[in-house]
Amino acid sequence: MSEENGYTFENEQYRKTYWHTVSHILAQAMKRLHPEVKLAIGPAIETGFYYDFDTPVPFTPDDLGELEAEMRKICKEKLKLERFELPRAEALKLMEEKEEPYKVELIRDLPEDAVISFYRQGDFTDLCAGPHLDSTGRVKGNAIKLTSATGAYWRGDSNRKMLQRIYGIAFPKKDELDEYLERQAEALKRDHNKLGRELEYFTTVDVIGQGLPIILPKGARVIQTLQRWVEDVERERGYLLTKTPYMAKRELYKISGHWDHYLDGMFVLGEPQDETKECFALRPMTCPFQYQVFLNRARSYRDLPMRLGETSTLFRNEDSGEMHGLIRVRQFTISEGHLILRPEQLEEEFKGCLDLAKYCLDTVGLLDKCSFRFSQWDPANPNNKYEGTPEQWELAQNTMAKILDDLDVAYEVGIDEAAFYGPKLDIQYKNVFGKEDTLVTIQIDMLLARQFGMEYVDADGQKKTPYIIHRTSLGCYERTLAYLLEEYAGALPTWMAPEQVRIMTVTDRADDYAYELKNTLFAQGFRVEVDDRNEKIGKKIREAQLEKVPYMLVVGDRDVEAGTVSVRHRAEGDLGAMSKEDFTALLRKVVDGKARQ
C-alpha cells in the first residue's frame, strides 16, 4: 500500500494499516532493546495503536524515548514486510522456539481450519493476520509518538496477568503529528477526569470501588438541575412518571430474557444457580419494572400510547478495564422511558422520541457533535445473543429503516450492536480524546410485550399485543455531565451552573447589602454565594474566574449607597454598574432562555 497508489490517511483502512505496521515496528524496537520482554498483541485502534508486553518493570518516559529512537532507526532501514503462512504444528513450534507464550496461546485458540499467518521484517517475526504496509520505510520515523504506558490485563480478564500497554500515534507528516499533539494538549485541559476533580464536581475513593464515583455538591446540583428540567419536558410531552424498585427477583429477569442474555453484566444478590433460595439482582435497566404499570389493570386501545418515564438509577457490572471517570461507571442514572403503543402508532411515537432527544441534546449544546448509528443484529452471532426469529428481526429492522428514512436521519449501520430484543438508533458522541460512546438510544421492541403477556383490547374488540419503544431523552446523567465539562472546558452555561452568581464585597461595610442581595436572588430561584472574606478584591475575582463562576458582582460603599452592583462576566469581563433590578432581569433572561453562556 502506498499513497502514490491512491491510498491516503483520509482512507480509514489505509490509516489503520499504517498504524498496525507502526505497532509491529514498536514490537521490533522493544525486542531489540529488551529481548527478555514477551509479546502479547498490538492492534491498530481508533486513535492510533498499542502493543501489550509482558515485563516485570513498568515503562518510564525515558523508556518510551529510547523506543521512539529505535523505531526511527527501523523506519530508516526500510525493511520489507513479508507475509507467510504455516501449518498449526509449525506455527506453534516457531513461537515456542522464540519463547513467546502469548503467541502460542493465541495459536492454540484459533479454529482448526484457520489460516495462520505471520509477518517478517528483517530479524523480527510476529503472528498477525495483517494487513501491513510493504516496507518500514513507508512510515515517517519523525512523525511517531509513543503517548503513554499503562497496565492492561491479558485478554481483558482481571484474573489473568497484568501486562504493560504502550499507546502510540503516527502520521505521514511531522506537521500532522505536531497538530495532533497540540489538539491532545487542549483535550487534556478539557478532560473531565482532570477538570471535574479540580473543580470538585466528583471524586473517586479506593475503598468504595472503581466505577462508583462520589458526585460532589457541584456535580450533584448540575445533575439535579438537568433531571428536573428533563422530567418537566417529558411531562409536557405526555409522559407519566413512575418510581420502581432498584432490585427484583431473578424470575422477573428470566421473563424479560436478561437472565439468559445479560447475567454477566448484573450484580446478583444470592446464588444465581440455586433455585431453592430466593435470588435478587440489582436492575441493569428499568423496562421489566415499568411494564408492570401497564399490567396493573386491563387496557384498551384508548390507553395507548402509554408513555412512561423515570429517572432511573441502574447498576451494571462493567469490566474494570472499561472504567473511565464519569463516562463509564457501574452505578448511573438515566432519563429512561418506555412507550407502549399500537403498531400503527410506531412511526409517530418514534419520531416524537427522536425529536425529544434532539431537543434535549441541542439545549445543552451537545447535538452538533453527535452522530447516529442504526444498530442491527447479526444473524451469524455465535453467542446466541438475540431473542426472536429471523423473520421477526427482519420485520423490526425493515420497519426501523423505513422510519429513519422517512425522518431523513443520516446514519451508519452497526452490525451486532442491537439490543437482544430489537434494533435501535444510537446517538453517539466522542469525548475530547476521540473515544466514542452512546449518549442516547431509541429502541424498537416487538418481542418483550408478548413474553410479559401484555395485551390491549383493540377497537374491534380483539385482544392484541402492543409494540414497545425503549428510549432515553438525555441519556446517562453522569456521562452527560462529563461531556458538558469537556465541551465547555468547565465553564457550564449559566442555567445549569452549580453557582450562577458570586457576590464579592470590597469592604465589610458592604456585607449586609451583599447578603440582602443574595437572599433576593435566592428567593427567585438563582444559585448565589457571597465571598465576604478579608481578602483583596483582585484575589476574589481571580478565584471566581478559576472556579468558572458565570457572574461576579462586586459591591462596595458606592454600590450600597446607590443600590447598584458592579457586574463581571467570566468570558465578557467588566459589564459595568447596573441596578439590582437590571441585573436580575439580565440573569433571568439568560437562565430562562437556557443560553449557552
**According to the model, what pLDDT value does residue 421 have?**
87
Residue 382 confidence (pLDDT) above 60: no
**According to the model, what pLDDT value does residue 216 have?**
98
Confirm if 51 and 23 have CB atoms less than 8 A apart: yes
Mean per-residue pLDDT for 320-328? 80
Smallest Cα–Cα separation from 545: which of 581, 583, 574?
574
Residue linked to cell 483520509? 10
C-alpha 1/C-alpha 157 separation (Å) is 35
Find all residues with CB under 8 Å of 520, minimum gap 6, and list them: 580, 584
Question: What's the pLDDT tens digit per position in 544-568?
Answer: 999 999 999 999 999 999 999 999 9
Cis peptide before 131 (omega within 30 of 0): yes
- Please indicate whether residue 423 or residue 381 has the higher confidence score (pLDDT): 423
- Please indicate whether residue 159 or residue 299 has the higher confidence score (pLDDT): 299
Question: What's the pLDDT tens digit per position in 139-195?
Answer: 999 999 999 999 888 988 878 899 999 999 999 999 999 999 999 898 889 999 999
**According to the model, what pLDDT value does residue 159 have?**
85
Question: What's the pLDDT tens digit per position in 469-497?
Answer: 999 999 899 999 999 999 999 999 999 99
**H or E segment and range at residue 308:** strand 306-315
The reported pTM is 0.83
DSSP code of residue 233: H
**According to the model, what pLDDT value does residue 4 have?**
47
Which three three-digit cell numbers place residue 545? Answer: 474566574
Residue 381 confidence (pLDDT) above 80: no
C-alpha 162/C-alpha 144 separation (Å) is 26
Residue 78 confidence (pLDDT) above 80: yes
Mean per-residue pLDDT for 338-363? 96
Residue 387 confidence (pLDDT) above 90: no
DSSP code of residue 297: S
Residue 152 forms beta bridges with which residues?
163
The β-bridge relationship of strands 48-54 and 38-39 is antiparallel
Amino acid 422 reads G
Confirm if 388 and 447 have CB atoms less than 8 A apart: yes
**H or E segment and range at residue 230:** helix 217-236
C-alpha 123/C-alpha 80 separation (Å) is 11
Q: How confident is the model at residue 1 (pLDDT cuts 50, 70, 90)?
A: very low
Mean per-residue pLDDT for 26-47? 94
C-alpha 49/C-alpha 552 separation (Å) is 46
C-alpha 291/C-alpha 270 separation (Å) is 25
Which three three-digit cell numbers place residue 391? Answer: 423473520
Q: How confident is the model at residue 7 (pLDDT cuts 50, 70, 90)?
A: low
Question: What's the pLDDT tens digit per position in 215-224?
Answer: 999 999 999 9
Residue linked to cell 444457580? 273
Q: How confident is the model at residue 450 (pLDDT cuts 50, 70, 90)?
A: very high
Rounded alpha-carbon distances, angstroms, from residue 228 to 35, 225, 231, 293: 59, 5, 5, 22
Which three three-digit cell numbers place residue 479? Answer: 456521562
Residue 313 forms beta bridges with which residues?
333
Instruction: Find the Cα–Cα–Cα–Cα dihedral 93, 95, 101, 102, rounded to 10°.
Output: -130
C-alpha 152/C-alpha 323 separation (Å) is 12
C-alpha 176/C-alpha 173 separation (Å) is 5
Confirm if 149 and 16 have CB atoms less than 8 A apart: no
Distance of CA 502 to the CA centre of its chain: 32
Residue linked to cell 439568560? 590
Residue linked to cell 514486510? 81
Mean pLDDT (the chain) is 93
**According to the model, what pLDDT value does residue 190 have?**
93
Residue 430 confidence (pLDDT) above 50: yes
- Most confident of the ranges 5-19, 193-207, 389-403: 193-207
Mean per-residue pLDDT for 208-237? 97
**According to the model, what pLDDT value does residue 383 have?**
58
Mean per-residue pLDDT for 10-19? 91
**According to the model, what pLDDT value does residue 323 have?**
74
**According to the model, what pLDDT value does residue 157 have?**
82
